[in-house]
Amino acid sequence: MVRVRSGQGLGDALYLRAVAERMAREQETIALTDFPDVFLGSAVKTEPFTRLAPHTIAAHYTASMDNQDSTQYADMVRTAGLRDVPLRFTWNVRNAKVVTELAERADGRPIILVHGGCVAMQRKDNFSADMLPRREAFVAALDALNGDCYCVGIGKAARLYELPLDEDLHGMTTVSDLLDIAVSCTGILAQCSFCVPLAEVFDKPLLAVWAARGLTSSNSYIRGVTPAKVLSKPSSTFLMDDWSPERIADAARRLLSPEVACAS
């Protein structure tokens, strides 16, 4: 039997499920997590998150953020002592009602999940302040999607600004419901957050809104949180919040393209 943990956040738990499922093929595996719903339907057992449990493997990326030649998920796999673990897992919708009713309200429009304006990492000490994208960048992206998509707010972290949405589910879904609507949506528009692995485990198109000031932050860890480090799949693209409105709009419209090419 082995225990495995990552960080304490929801995004960490999403990454961890893919890693822990691979480990569970060989031995009984317990994931230490505050988000046990992420592991529903898997062979992985869960216990509350702690850094002190015995026989624990720390599958994490924080010590390697300065290595821009490897993604944070790849770092997690490596520190777990594994190789070539795909970033994906199967999720069967558990609350069909929430998915069906959301689709009815969308009335045939593609559903885009939106997460923005939130305190990054849920920090209360200003550590992650440079990671918050400018509101104007989100608004330009949403304006480009207006009418063509049904944009739905998600998440529960404290918001520092509001966004124009068709529907706001911020703070209103369980983790299980969130995974239900994520596996059923068309794509995700979000700041760097749990939404990156949420999109990538289901191979959903992701447009990540990046704060340009984060790349020049005085904090070396924050400077390491780059698109190259965080995004793992070709289906994930990004825009910088200091781009022109026209360039942002073009990136947003490509979120609906059948094939998503990496932004540059």
pLDDT of residue 207 exceeding 90: yes
At 138-185, the pLDDT tens digits run: 999 999 999 899 999 999 998 999 999 999 999 999 999 999 999 999
Strand pairing class (236-240; 187-191): unpaired
pTM over 0.85? The answer is yes
Q: Could you give all domains of the chain from N- to C-terminal order, each with its CATH number? A: 2-79 (no CATH), 96-254 (3.40.50.2000)
pLDDT of residue 223 exceeding 70: yes
Alpha helices in the chain (DSSP H): 10-24, 72-79, 96-106, 135-145, 175-184, 195-200, 220-223, 227-230, 245-254
Please tell me the predicted confidence (pLDDT) of residue 119.
Answer: 87
Please tell me the predicted confidence (pLDDT) of residue 259.
Answer: 52
pLDDT of residue 11 exceeding 80: yes
Please tell me the predicted confidence (pLDDT) of residue 264.
Answer: 29
Give the number of C-alpha atoms closer than 13 A to the C-alpha of residue 219, restricted to the C-beta side. Answer: 13
Percent of the chain whose pLDDT exceeds 90: 88
Average pLDDT, the chain: 94
